[in-house]
Chains A and B, each alone.
Chain A
Amino acid sequence: QKEVEQNSGPLSVPEGAIASLNCTYSDRGSQSFFWYRQYSGKSPELIMFIYSNGDKEDGRFTAQLNKASQYVSLLIRDSQPSDSATYLCAVSKSGGYNKLIFGAGTRLAVHP
């Protein structure tokens, strides 16, 4: 079992729709959860992080965390073509140093 699992996609949504990206993790002791966006050929950029169960909203983005189910998701409202990228879920392993383990990423395509 992979430590962090994501559906590779591509996830195709029309412009203006809600894109829903999902991620599961195996280490029950994980404490911090991050969503990064990566454009082709570029390094990842942080979108959001979440520590507590529930929802966290930032602009068009909402992160949702359910530690009991070991599940974290990212919702993107009013999707734009510029949101087309690969979205990486990252989990901070328990035990210090904030080492992040990344999922394989979900490719999102927003079409006009």
Chain B
Amino acid sequence: GAVVSQHPSRVICKSGTSVKIECRSLDFQATTMFWYRQFPKKSLMLMATSNEGSKATYEQGVEKDKFLINHASLTLSTLTVTSAHPEDSSFYICSAKGQGFSGELFFGEGSRLTVL
């Protein structure tokens, strides 16, 4: 299957700082990427859909000014958590849908954010 790489895998930051998470499709062009958030023992919650070259579409209840998403190329999407607070601590996972695939998503390794 296709490979999606996410970086960093773990990040610890102080409250009030901003954190950027990168998601790259390594061997295919990802026209659409999705960002999910997962709390312990809970399912994945879709945060937003990003399409290359256009603005992200956020799910209801997700603050677009707090979670900035940029999909500047067909292989890279970034999620920036701005002015992070302890309640933003979570497991963030990106996924990508490639051209020519049957609709399945390929997931990155995930990024565990801890805000102190």
Contact = CB atoms under 8 A, between A and B. Distances in A.
A103 B43 contact: yes
Contact of B103 (A36, A41, A88, A92): A92
Contacts of A36: 107
Given A43-B107, A43-B109, A97-B49, A102 B43 contact: yes
Interface residues of B, number: 25
A74 to B, nearest CB: 15
Q: Is the interface of B mostly helix, strand, loop or mixed?
A: strand
Interface centre among B43, B97, B104 (most CB of A within 10 A): B43
Nearest to A45: B107
Interface in B1-60: 1, 6, 32, 34, 36, 42-44, 46, 49, 51, 57
30 contacts: A32-B102, A32-B103, A34-B104, A34-B105, A36-B107, A42-B110, A43-B6, A43-B93, A43-B110, A44-B93, A46-B104, A46-B105, A46-B106, A49-B103, A49-B104, A88-B43, A88-B44, A90-B105, A92-B103, A97-B32, A97-B51, A97-B57, A98-B105, A100-B34, A100-B95, A101-B46, A102-B36, A102-B43, A102-B46, A104-B42
Interface of B: 1, 6, 32, 34, 36, 42-44, 46, 49, 51, 57, 93, 95, 97, 102-110, 112
Interface of A: 32, 34, 36, 41-46, 49, 88, 90, 92, 97-105
